[in-house]
């Protein structure tokens, strides 16, 4: 990957970060139970944008093209190392209160591991996989979830990895807040987009249009099915693990990554973090559209000053995201919801600008990049030649040093 950065991609990452801060810092509902404007705008969409951009980043790291099998060891090692680093950061944040903000990093780590075989596939196949996963994984999850352990929905820790690795894998893959298997629809979409020439204006326009159409169509079809879904969901509610008020809250505000399996009609809803086909397709459309808009804006001179702080924050989202999680779980977060949100957004934008102007890469980004680079070098390192029969082993080892 070259040192040149796509400002539009970084700005989209920055927008995702600010959206996550808004969801965590601001209230999600009014006293009557209706969602606030900020929750309606950002809930589910910001995290989906993160996942789509993770796929874009993987495409950029692998040269924006299908990786040949002969040269695949370095790419596989680099992605595995990134997954371990990101997963390690996520487990270190496991002390955080999930009710304040569920940590997405361990789930992203699983997605990075699942992405390793994808980089060897043609772009068209990955595009088809994205659609199949968005439609098929919610169906399979609906069948499998009743047979899987009930998730505790706490942030994963190193202790949970040691005590119950299979339970943790089940939660990270299928039953948790950001289940990796259905969320691979986002990452596949990002891989496809990342292989396009994102410097072309025509591509940016196409992404904006496709994203808008996908998001609008998904919301329209789901809203058309809402009366039918409600007519089946409520009669099946006694067989659900949710109470009546919890069912109503899920339908209005969304869930914790999945829906009950009491009726197939749950798959027709389009609420945040429900992992239904309409949720996955609609939020994918929003993510694609946001990226397209940011790419278009980056080509306009008068927008460069406005995008600069957003792109600077977006270039170190891993570090700023971790700082955000630590802050909202600390004694320093004594602000009101609105003030706390503005303080964190201002700090993220200013820190991004200052850090990029003086140091460059964020600290967690630097660690992750270093670990991945060393893994790539180790994977491609040629083994020391064996000394010929009858030769001196000492001479052979000295030769290999030089």
Binning pLDDT at 50, 70 and 90, where does residue 70 land? Answer: confident
What tokens does 284 get? 């994918």
* Domain residue limits at 14: 7-377
Binning pLDDT at 50, 70 and 90, where does residue 402 land? Answer: very low
CA 169 to CA 364: how far, in whole Å? 24
Alpha helices in 145-234 (DSSP H): 158-163, 165-170, 180-194, 201-233
**Are residues 297 and 303 in contact, defined by beta-carbon separation less than 8 angstroms?**
yes
User: Is 391 part of a structural domain of the chain?
Assistant: no
CA 267 to CA 135: how far, in whole Å? 10
Helix (H, G, I), strand (E, B) or coil at 135: helix
User: Is 223 part of a structural domain of the chain?
Assistant: yes
What are residue 35's DSSP bridge partners?
Answer: 29
What tokens does 73 get? 């060891």
What tokens does 158 get? 């190193």
Q: Which 8-state DSSP code applies to residue 35? A: B
User: Is 194 part of a structural domain of the chain?
Assistant: yes
pLDDT for the residue numbered 360? 86
Binning pLDDT at 50, 70 and 90, where does residue 384 land? Answer: low
User: Is 93 part of a structural domain of the chain?
Assistant: yes
Helix (H, G, I), strand (E, B) or coil at 87: helix
User: Is 389 part of a structural domain of the chain?
Assistant: no
Binning pLDDT at 50, 70 and 90, where does residue 396 land? Answer: very low
pLDDT for the residue numbered 393? 34
pLDDT for the residue numbered 385? 56
CA 311 to CA 294: how far, in whole Å? 10
User: Is 390 part of a structural domain of the chain?
Assistant: no
Q: What pLDDT, in 10s, does the model give residues 191-242?
A: 999 999 999 999 999 999 999 999 999 999 999 999 999 999 999 999 888 9
What tokens does 144 get? 């499998």
User: Is 202 part of a structural domain of the chain?
Assistant: yes
Angle between helices 123-144 and 277-297 (to 10 degrees): 140
Which of 1, 8, 61 lies closest to 311 in space, CA to CA?
8
User: Is 393 part of a structural domain of the chain?
Assistant: no
Helix (H, G, I), strand (E, B) or coil at 65: coil
Helix (H, G, I), strand (E, B) or coil at 259: coil
What tokens does 151 get? 């998730």
Q: Per the structure, how many domains does the chain have?
A: 1
pLDDT for the residue numbered 20? 97
Q: What pLDDT, in 10s, does the model give residues 31-44?
A: 988 999 999 999 99
């Amino acid at each position: 990957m070259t040192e040149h950065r796509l400002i539009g991609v970084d700005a989209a990452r920055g927008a995702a970060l600010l959206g996550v801060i808004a969801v965590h810092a601001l209230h999600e509902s009014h006293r009557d139970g209706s969602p606030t404007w900020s929750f309606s705008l950002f809930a589910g969409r910001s995290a989906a944008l993160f996942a789509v951009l993770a796929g874009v980043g993987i495409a950029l790291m692998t040269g924006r093209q299908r990786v040949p099998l002969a040269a695949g060891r370095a790419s596989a090692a680099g992605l595995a190392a990134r997954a371990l680093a990101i997963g390690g950061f996520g487990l270190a944040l496991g002390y955080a209160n999930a009710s304040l903000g569920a940590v997405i990093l361990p789930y992203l780590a699983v997605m990075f591991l699942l992405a390793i075989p994808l980089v060897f596939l043609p772009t068209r196949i990955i595009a088809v996989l994205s659609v199949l996963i968005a439609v098929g994984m919610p169906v399979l999850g609906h069948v499998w979830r009743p047979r899987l352990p009930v998730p505790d929905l706490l942030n994963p820790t190193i202790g949970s990895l040691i005590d119950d690795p299979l339970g943790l894998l089940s939660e990270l893959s299928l039953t948790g807040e950001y289940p990796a298997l259905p969320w691979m629809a986002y990452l596949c979409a990002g891989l496809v987009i990342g292989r396009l020439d994102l410097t072309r204006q025509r591509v940016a326009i196409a992404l904006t249009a496709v994203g808008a159409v996908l998001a609008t169509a998904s919301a329209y079809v789901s809203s058309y099915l809402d009366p039918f879904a409600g007519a089946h969901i409520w009669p099946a509610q006694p067989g659900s693990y949710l109470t009546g008020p919890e069912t109503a809250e899920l339908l209005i505000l969304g869930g914790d990554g999945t829906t009950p399996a009491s009726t197939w009609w749950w798959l027709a809803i389009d609420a945040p973090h429900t992992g239904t086909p309409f949720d996955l397709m609609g939020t994918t459309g929003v993510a694609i559209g946001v990226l397209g808009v940011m790419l278009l804006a980056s080509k306009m001179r008068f927008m460069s000053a406005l995008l600069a702080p957003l792109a600077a924050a977006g270039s170190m989202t891993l570090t700023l995201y971790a700082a955000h999680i630590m802050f909202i779980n600390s004694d320093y977060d004594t602000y009101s919801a609105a003030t706390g949100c503005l303080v964190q957004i201002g700090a993220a934008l200013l820190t991004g600008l200052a850090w990029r102007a003086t140091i460059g890469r964020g600290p967690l980004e630097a660690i992750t990049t270093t670990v991945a680079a060393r893994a790539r070098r180790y994977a491609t390192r040629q083994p020391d030649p064996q000394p010929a029969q009858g030769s001196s082993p000492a001479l052979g080892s000295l030769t290999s040093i030089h």
